[in-house]
């Protein structure tokens, strides 16, 4: 069995859609980082998205754990032309609403769809699992990336996955066994 601990990076405080923009995380809440680090499995391997907000958060919670390389497959959704826009700034509101209300194949201009994100993050998680069989993994990633793995574990629709809250510096835990995936907890803030 492998414990997959999906950690959302520290807050950026942006009030816009932040996908591939490399905004830094606010890691000033050292008490929360210490609680998070002490909660995570001590022998786990740590891997993160290659965006600096995830890398810095992984650095802050790593402790004595071994580190794997940064993986661009674990990045947040690519919002394309909508990147760093507020929701009310998006020109094509019909497409924007369809993107959130019927997630799947709808994509922002020059961006990726939910299915694209799901496939990319799944590929990254599967590669980390395959290269480290039986080892617990701490994966420091992003809101959308974590939701894809909740969807996968719970076998729910993308729309239903969106109903989950994923706070910054929270842990979502999944047990991965030969017989399948089992959700342990979602959005746990130690």
Q: What integer pLDDT is reported at residue 26 of this predicted model? A: 98
Q: Which of these, 98, 102, 67, lies nearest to 82 by C-alpha position? A: 98
Q: Tell me which DSSP letter residue 50 carries.
A: S
Q: What is the pLDDT of residues 23-64, one digit of tens each?
A: 999 999 999 999 999 999 999 999 999 999 999 999 999 999
User: Which of 180-184's residues contact partners 24+ apart within 8 Å by CB, and which partners?
Assistant: 181/152, 181/153, 182/153, 183/150, 183/153, 183/154, 184/3
C-beta separation of 168 from 11 below 8 A: yes
Q: What is the pLDDT of residues 120-163, one digit of tens each?
A: 999 999 999 999 999 999 999 999 999 999 999 999 999 999 99
Q: What is the pLDDT of residues 170-181, one digit of tens each?
A: 999 999 999 999
Q: What is the pLDDT of residues 93-114, one digit of tens each?
A: 999 999 999 999 999 999 999 9
Rounded CA separation 152/105 (Å): 17
Per the rule left: phi > 0, alpha: psi between -120 and 50, beta: everything else, 6 is: beta
Rounded CA separation 119/121 (Å): 6
Domains and CATH numbers, the chain: 2-188 (3.40.50.1240)
Q: What integer pLDDT is reported at residue 187 of this predicted model? A: 98
* pLDDT bucket at 188, cuts 50 / 70 / 90: very high
Q: What integer pLDDT is reported at residue 117 of this predicted model? A: 98
Q: Which of these, 118, 94, 95, lies nearest to 107 by C-alpha position? A: 95
Q: What integer pLDDT is reported at residue 176 of this predicted model? A: 97
- Exposure of 24 in the CB half-sphere (CA atoms within 13 A): 4
E strands in the chain:
2-8, 45-48, 66-67, 137-141, 171-177, 180-188
C-beta separation of 80 from 107 below 8 A: yes
């Amino acid at each position: 069995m492998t414990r997959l601990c999906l950690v959302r990076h520290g807050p950026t405080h942006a009030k816009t859609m932040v996908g591939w923009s490399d905004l830094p995380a606010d890691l000033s809440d050292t008490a929360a980082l210490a609680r998070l680090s002490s909660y995570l499995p001590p022998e786990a391997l740590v891997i993160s998205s290659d965006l600096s907000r995830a890398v810095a958060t992984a650095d802050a919670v790593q402790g004595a754990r071994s580190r794997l390389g940064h993986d661009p497959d674990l990045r947040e959704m690519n919002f394309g032309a909508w990147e760093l826009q507020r929701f009310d700034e998006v020109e094509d509101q019909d497409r924007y609403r369809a993107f959130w209300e019927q997630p799947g194949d709808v994509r922002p201009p020059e961006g990726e769809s939910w299915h694209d994100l799901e496939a990319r993050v799944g590929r990254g998680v599967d590669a980390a699992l395959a290269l480290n069989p039986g080892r617990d993994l701490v994966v420091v990633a992003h809101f959308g990336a974590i939701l894809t793995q909740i969807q996968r574990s719970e076998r729910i629709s993308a729309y239903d996955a969106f109903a989950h809250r994923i706070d910054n510096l929270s842990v979502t835990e999944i047990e991965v066994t030969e017989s399948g995936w089992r959700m342990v907890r979602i959005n746990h803030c130690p």
